[in-house]
């Protein structure tokens, strides 16, 4: 039995309890698997259900592994130096694509095209860490039609009224993005492979991924039977009226299926485009933006159309007013399959409406947004920020993920943020909302599997479940999550070892 195996270490599953040792054969967990070779593991190792990242962008993440990473830049000079260094290594004609910048890391100065002057005819596009804004070089600006602003977007202008090169929301997505040469199908397949390897090394055995229909058809569907992880696709195609044919007719396998469609209600807190009930504390002229269908009053029609076709509407809602709108749109979702993504701020009256609803959150967004949240929201609204505990208490079904490539897709880093409340600069933020290791692990396994339509048993380690396992170097219940979070030793998908740490 080539694909049978067995481990004799501690096994801990939040839904089926603790035991010693586990066996599998033919890809599934068994009470006993005759002749299964025992895989040796260090003393103290602990097997948990395979970790599921409930919200990421797999192909984009894979492509991003090749982009210039500006996430750690703390000054304009550093951004310019790194861009120059990359420029020097790129062949002529190639676009220089970067991501990860965050003006909060250098005092708030907004980047402009001038930051990329002196690079000849190189085209540069640098995405903000949340991918809700980008700044482009003058060479790119010359290619774009900046004469009119699309609804739900902003072309940032200087005092004289000229575009600076910074584009926000719909302006970034609908003006800048289409100008960037699309990677070939082969390039996207390579990105998929790179992304999967990256996730395996982090202990991830399954994902909920946001993808375009064209990639589902050309990049993903050809590997629907042998994809080395499980993947629930939420389609990003958002034309209205929405044609759901592709999602409804997709032939599912136990590795790849379509769970629903995605819509954006608002933007992000960092760029003050998340839609709030009251104005931003540090910019009282704005309450943020309604985007896309929400801006046109069509969100509810859209959600009901997706539901009527047996699929899950997934709604990006970061501001507290966006959460209200998402809940309104799901009023007739009796099966409770709609997913509210992010839910970074919430009023008490909306928390109560979340009972039984899928709330898909990203703990590392809390760590990233926490340093600027008090200025955006004002001290009096910080009790609305990342209410993990309140959602759990209200009976919401918490699903955790990363939103990679916007932040790292390391589930141990996400669990640490959810358990400790520690943000990216080391401060502990709204610790009363922190969760226990058991709750955080449940959100990364069992609840993610349920919410995303994984094969039966996924997210647990009971007999009959697919043998998807993540083996950690220590028990997450007793680990010191501040100083020494668990590390991934091995990742197993369907009984096959796909990663072994060296
Ligand atoms: Zn996302």
Q: Mind listing the pLDDT tens digit for each residue in 417-473?
A: 999 999 999 999 999 999 999 999 999 999 999 999 999 999 999 999 999 999 999
159 contacts: CB under 8 Å, gap ≥ 6: none
Q: What is the full DSSP assignment across 383-451?
A: GGB--HHHHHHTT-EEEE---TTSS---HHHHHHHHHH-B-TTS-B--GGG---HHHHHHHHTHHHHHH
In tens, the pLDDT along 130-179 reads 888 999 999 999 999 999 998 888 999 999 999 999 999 999 999 999 99
Check: pTM over 0.85? Answer yes or no.
yes
The answer to whether 238 touches 280, Cβ cutoff 8 Å, is no
Q: Give residue 190 CA to ligand 1 midpoint distance, Å.
A: 21
pLDDT, tens only, 22-70: 999 999 999 999 889 999 999 999 999 999 999 999 999 999 898 999 9
Class of domain 67-179: alpha beta
Residue 1: predicted pLDDT: 43
Report pLDDT for 439.
98
Protein residues near ligand 1, an ion, with CB under 5 A: 403
Does residue 3 have a pLDDT over 80? no
Q: What is the CATH number of domain 1-50+459-502?
A: 2.30.40.10
Mean pLDDT within 248-275:
96
Whether residue 308 is preceded by a cis peptide bond, meaning omega within 30 degrees of 0, is: no
Spacing, Cα 131 to ligand 1 middle (Å):
9
119: which 2 tokens?
Answer: 């690079």
pLDDT of residue 2: 52
- Cα(453) to centroid of ligand 1, in Å? 18
pLDDT value of residue 406: 85
Task: Report, as an integer, the average pLDDT of 323-334.
Answer: 97
242 CA → ligand 1 middle, Å: 20
Distance (angstroms) between ligand 1 centre and the Cα of 407 equals 10
So where are the chain's domains? 1-50+459-502, 67-179
pLDDT at 34: 87
CA 225 to CA 256: how far, in whole Å? 8
For residue 498, CA distances in Å to 39, 50, 196, 414 come to 14, 12, 10, 22
pLDDT band at 479 (very low <50, low <70, confident <90, very high): very high
Task: Report the separation in Å between the CA atom of 29 and the middle of ligand 1, taken as the mean of its atom positions.
Answer: 32
Q: How far apart are CA 96 and CA 116, in angstroms?
A: 10
Residues of the chain above pLDDT 90, percent: 93
C-alpha 56 – ligand 1 centre gap (Å): 6
CA distance 98 to 384: 32
């Amino acid at each position: 039995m080539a694909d049978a195996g067995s481990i004799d270490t501690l096994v801990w599953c939040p839904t089926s309890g603790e035991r010693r040792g586990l066996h599998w054969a033919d890809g599934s967990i068994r009470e006993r698997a005759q002749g299964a070779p025992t895989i040796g593991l260090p003393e103290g190792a602990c097997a948990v259900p395979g970790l599921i990242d409930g919200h990421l962008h797999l192909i984009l993440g894979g492509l991003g592994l090749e982009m210039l990473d500006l996430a750690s830049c703390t000054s304009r000079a550093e951004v310019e130096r790194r861009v120059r260094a990359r420029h020097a290594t790129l062949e002529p004609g190639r676009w220089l694509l970067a991501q990860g910048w965050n003006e909060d890391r250098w005092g708030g100065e907004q980047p402009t095209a001038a930051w990329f002057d002196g690079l000849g005819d190189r085209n540069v596009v640098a995405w903000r860490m949340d991918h809700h804004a980008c700044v482009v070089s003058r060479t790119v600006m010359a290619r774009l039609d900046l004469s009119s602003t699309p609804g739900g977007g902003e072309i940032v202008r200087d005092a004289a009224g000229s575009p600076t090169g910074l584009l926000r929301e719909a302006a970034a997505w609908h003006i800048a993005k289409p100008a960037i040469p699309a990677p070939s199908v082969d390039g996207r397949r390579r990105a998929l492979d790179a992304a999967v390897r990256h996730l395996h090394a982090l202990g991830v055995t399954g994902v909920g991924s946001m993808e375009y229909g064209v990639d589902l058809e050309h990049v993903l569907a050809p590997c629907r039977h042998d994809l080395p992880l499980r993947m629930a696709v939420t389609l990003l195609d958002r034309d209205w009226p929405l044609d759901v044919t592709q999602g409804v007719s997709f032939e599912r396998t136990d590795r790849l299926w379509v769970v629903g469609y995605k819509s954006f209600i608002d933007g992000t807190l960092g760029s003050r485009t998340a839609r709030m009930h009251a104005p931003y504390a540090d910019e009282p002229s704005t309450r943020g933006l309604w985007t896309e269908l929400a801006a046109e009053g069509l969100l509810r029609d859209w959600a009901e159309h997706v539901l009527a076709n047996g699929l899950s509407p997934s709604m990006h809602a970061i501001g507290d007013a966006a959460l209200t709108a998402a809940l309104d749109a799901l009023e007739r979702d009796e099966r409770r399959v709609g997913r509210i993504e992010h839910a970074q701020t919430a009023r008490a009256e909306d928390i109560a409406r979340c009972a039984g609803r899928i709330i898909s959150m990203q703990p590392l967004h809390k760590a990233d947004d926490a340093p600027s949240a008090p200025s955006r929201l004002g001290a009096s609204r910080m009790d609305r920020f990342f209410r993990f505990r309140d959602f759990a208490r209200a009976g919401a079904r918490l699903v955790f993920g990363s939103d990679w490539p916007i932040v790292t897709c390391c589930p141990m880093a996400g669990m640490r943020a959810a358990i400790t409340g520690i943000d990216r600069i080391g401060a502990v933020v709204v610790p009363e909302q922190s969760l226990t290791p058991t709750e955080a692990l449940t959100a990364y396994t069992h609840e993610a599997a349920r919410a995303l339509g994984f094969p039966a048993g996924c997210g647990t380690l009971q007999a009959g479940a697919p043998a998807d396992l993540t083996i950690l170097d220590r028990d997450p219940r007793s680990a010191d999550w501040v100083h020494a979070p668990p590390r991934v030793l091995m990742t197993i998908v369907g009984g096959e070892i796909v990663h072994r740490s060296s």
